[in-house]
Amino acid sequence: MLAVVALVIALAIAFAAGYFTRDLASRKRRAEARRWREYTEPGWLRAAAPANTNEAAPVATGELGQMLDRWESRARARRAG
């Protein structure tokens, strides 16, 4: 019986420690988000267009680039119909 009580107490302590750790991590993450909320990226920092735009990537002119371009064209043609 004493072993069961000790096991329940150990489980309760572990459960509480998990919640404490989760709360601590959340507080740190929220504090960092509050610090960065007013941040604006300077114009000179962005060297390339973001990846989520529709701008075309520069065409690769080497042998591998031509091979990949043909492969992508064929894949596009298969998808189109």
For residue range 7-33, what is the model confidence (pLDDT) as tens digits? 999 999 999 999 999 999 999 998 888
Band the pLDDT of 4: cuts 50, 70, 90: very high
Count of structural domains, the chain: 1
Q: Tell me which DSSP letter residue 60 carries.
A: P
Q: What range defines the domain where residue 23 resides?
A: 1-36
pLDDT number for residue 16: 94
In a domain, 29, yes or no: yes
Q: Tell me which DSSP letter residue 51 carries.
A: T
Band the pLDDT of 75: cuts 50, 70, 90: very high
Residues constituting the chain: 81
CB 69 within 8 A of CB 59: yes
In a domain, 55, yes or no: no
In a domain, 59, yes or no: no
